[in-house]
Amino acid sequence: MAGAGAGAVAAPGGGRPLIITEDPVLLDDLLRLCAAAGAEPHVHHAVPEQGGASGADRASDGTAGGVGWDSAPLVLVGDDAARRVRGAPRRTGVFLVGRDLDDPLVWQRAVEIGAEEVLRLPDAESLLVDRIADVVEGAGRPALAVGVIGGAGGAGASTLACALAVRAARAGERTILIDGDPLGGGMDVLLGGESAEGLRWPDFAASRGRVGAGALEESLPELHALRVLSWDRGDRVVVPPAAMRSVVAAARRRGGVVVVDLPRRVDEAAAEVLAQLDLVLMVVPGELRSVAAAGRVAAGVRMVARDVRVVVRGRCPGGLDPEAVAGLLGAPLAGEVPVEVGLPGRVAEGEPPGAQGRGALARFCDGFWQRALGPAQGVPA
């Protein structure tokens, strides 16, 4: 999108969008799209006066004070109102909306009012709902999304994913842990919260389009200061790729940290998740057979993921050091996680992985977040 230029008025994040139109059909469409995005807009016939509104405009938006052109976080200008908006101060977040696909002068009017984009309905409805929803949610910096996948069976990927989420939450990061492996036994079980109230993956199977980020977070079980999206104890093991894409995108929009426990088989649903991740950690047990298996897993992951790194778990008895393992797999080394004696017993007693800050697993996770999030946001050792 083109910027508004020097001296433009920056629109604040969050709040109610402003609609300017006298076209009743277009207004009905825009109100419907605002409702779909969970927004209650202000409606005006022309540029509202700063700090107030005319009697007609107050009747239209149902408020006593209206909203100023400068203060609205998003302005939707109907094509019918473009001439009435000319001369208003330039600012970001202005969109020209109409229905006539064959109007050759539409771009000229958009330039005259400083619009960032021209949106034609009905083709741009989905895009417009996303724009409006970003305003409602106060869209900011997306979450750092990290996936964890096992290079071989029993590699300990779920344990590492859980520990990463626990350590991030302990450091004060807004954290969502997503169980992307329907055959993994359930991340809520690993956290000791299989009976916790909240939604699971089957509840989102019918999701299409945009999922509200705030509603998603609030609907999930909260365990150990983080939110977790896991599987229930039912028979469903498939969530449509579109639902996977929508839910992970919603989790990212809340900011903070998103950790995803990935299945080893990269099917269409897993590919939707991988495409949204900033980084994938592939956990490889320190033995030659596992390294060979990890090569096949890495080939599938690299087809979608943009950044794959190796975490070696334990030492290879065949003389391979962690750097050599990463070299064989053709991926950077993210680190080594020693086998932690007593961890399985503590997990069985209800203590989640990473809960003890002094353990080898927790130290690895803390170091990882310090590097990934930066020194200013580092976690305590």
pLDDT confidence of residue 139: 61
Confidence of residue 61 (pLDDT cuts 50, 70, 90): very low
Mean predicted confidence (pLDDT) in 289-316 = 92
Kindly state the percentage of the chain with pLDDT values over 70.
Answer: 88
Cα(231)–Cα(194) distance, integer angstroms: 9
Contact 73, 13 (CB under 8 A): yes
User: Would you list the DSSP string of 327-381?
Assistant: HHHTS-EEEEE---TTHHHHHHTTPPTT-STTSHHHHHHHHHHHHHH-GGGPPP-
Query: How do residues 234-253 score in pLDDT, each as one tens digit?
Result: 887 788 999 999 899 889 98
Residue that is written with structure tokens 């724009």 in the block: 131
User: Does the pLDDT value for residue 192 go beyond 70?
Assistant: yes
Which residues have C-beta within 8 Å of that of residue 266, sequence separation ≥ 6? 274, 300, 301, 303, 304
The larger pLDDT score, comparing residue 240 to residue 356, is at 240
Quote the strand ranges of the chain, DSSP E.
18-20, 42-44, 75-78, 94-98, 117-120, 144-150, 175-179, 222-223, 226-229, 257-261, 279-285, 308-313, 333-337
pLDDT confidence of residue 39: 86
Cα(227)–Cα(353) distance, integer angstroms: 15
User: Does the pLDDT value for residue 55 go beyond 50?
Assistant: no
Query: How do residues 3-35 score in pLDDT, each as one tens digit?
Result: 333 333 333 345 789 999 999 999 999 999 998
pLDDT confidence of residue 196: 93
What end-to-end distance do the CA atoms of the chain give, in Å? 42
As beta bridge partners, residue 226 has 223
227 sits in the region (left: phi over 0; alpha: psi -120 to 50; else beta) called beta
User: Does the pLDDT value for residue 46 go beyond 70?
Assistant: yes
The larger pLDDT score, comparing residue 130 to residue 57, is at 130
Mean per-residue pLDDT of the chain: 85
pLDDT confidence of residue 318: 65
User: Does the pLDDT value for residue 71 go beyond 90?
Assistant: no
Residue that is written with structure tokens 């991340």 in the block: 187
Mean predicted confidence (pLDDT) in 33-53 = 79
pLDDT confidence of residue 129: 87
Which residues have C-beta within 8 Å of that of residue 82, sequence separation ≥ 6? 96, 109, 110, 112, 113
Mean predicted confidence (pLDDT) in 131-148 = 84
> The tokens of 67 are what?
């909203």
Query: How do residues 87-112 score in pLDDT, each as one tens digit?
Result: 999 999 999 999 887 888 999 999 99
The larger pLDDT score, comparing residue 374 to residue 93, is at 93
Cα(314)–Cα(188) distance, integer angstroms: 26
Query: How do residues 156-178 score in pLDDT, each as one tens digit?
Result: 999 999 999 999 999 999 999 99
Helix or strand holding residue 160 (H, E):
helix 157-170
Mean predicted confidence (pLDDT) in 67-72 = 84
User: Does the pLDDT value for residue 209 go beyond 80?
Assistant: no
